[in-house]
Amino acid sequence: MSGKSGMSKRQRAKVFRISQYVLLLAVVVVFAVTADWAQIKRAFFDFDVAADQFPEVITIALKNTLVYTALGFAFGLTLGLVLALMRLSSVAPYRWLSTIYIEFFRGLPALLVFIAIGTGIPLAFPGTFLSREVSIMLALGLVGAAYMAETIRAGIQAVPKGQVEAARSLGMSQGRAMITIVIPQAFRIILPPLTNELILLTKDSSLAYLLGSTLAQQELAQFGRQALTSFKSLTPVLVVGLCYLIITIPLSLLSRRLERKFGSGASTTRGVGV
């Protein structure tokens, strides 16, 4: 027992928790009493406006978001694997180039990369035309590759060296041992952080609005922004947010399940705020 307060540490901790619950309840009650629920309903839960978003929010916006994310992830994963192998190479220039690339793109906001792809390439190479899908794939992939490269590198280094030594003792070359033994095991280790990176690329795909689009090319964020302007209501934003959650929540659950199954894996991916 404490000599001053007459309470043990456990009792004080219990009192502190109860006080937090009381404070939270008081905040909820004050909000419930003072909020203008009619205005909140008009602003966020206008069911007529919500109904007007369908089916286009699914058949166009959600579909395009999935396509853009898949393209960016595929390109980023391929480039990230190459960068990771370069980072681990015994050839010094490969390591330097990989390090420069990774540090450069990890330090740049994805917003600037989209602007550079959308306006910089046509200015630097007149007459060059990149389709919107290719531009989005490049922008998402270039940024994602920098993070995935570090994740893949950490996964490769986490594979026990004895695996390579055993493969070499069976007559495998270094390259074949890497492709058939090390990389498959590394990917099993890094599945959770790669899933997190897929979630982040899904959200980064909202920057595709910088490249301009027709109605048929809109992803979720741009679709919601245009509907917000048309209806003067935040309901479309809520609908779009729910569509993002349809993508990110299952991926987040998958990531946690993979982490429990295969371990924590490499932890060099970006943070996920889902």
Overall average pLDDT of the 59-80 stretch: 94
- Residues 17 and 138 occupy one common structural domain: no
Overall average pLDDT of the 179-206 stretch: 88
Amino acid, res. 18: I
The CATH number given to whatever domain includes residue 157 is 1.10.3720.10
Overall average pLDDT of the 114-140 stretch: 85
Overall average pLDDT of the 34-53 stretch: 77
Overall average pLDDT of the 161-174 stretch: 74
Across the chain, mean pLDDT equals: 84
Range of the domain at 125: 53-262
What confidence score (pLDDT) does residue 274 get?
A: 37
Q: What is the dihedral of CA 162, 164, 166, 170, to 10 degrees?
A: -170
Say how many domains are in the chain: 2
Q: Which of 219, 243, 215, 245 is nearest to 230 (CA)?
A: 215
- Residues 88 and 194 occupy one common structural domain: yes
Give the whole-angstrom CA distance, residue 190 versus residue 153.
Answer: 10
- Residues 9 and 110 occupy one common structural domain: no
98 in a structural domain: yes
- Residues 21 and 149 occupy one common structural domain: no
251 in a structural domain: yes
- Residues 70 and 162 occupy one common structural domain: yes
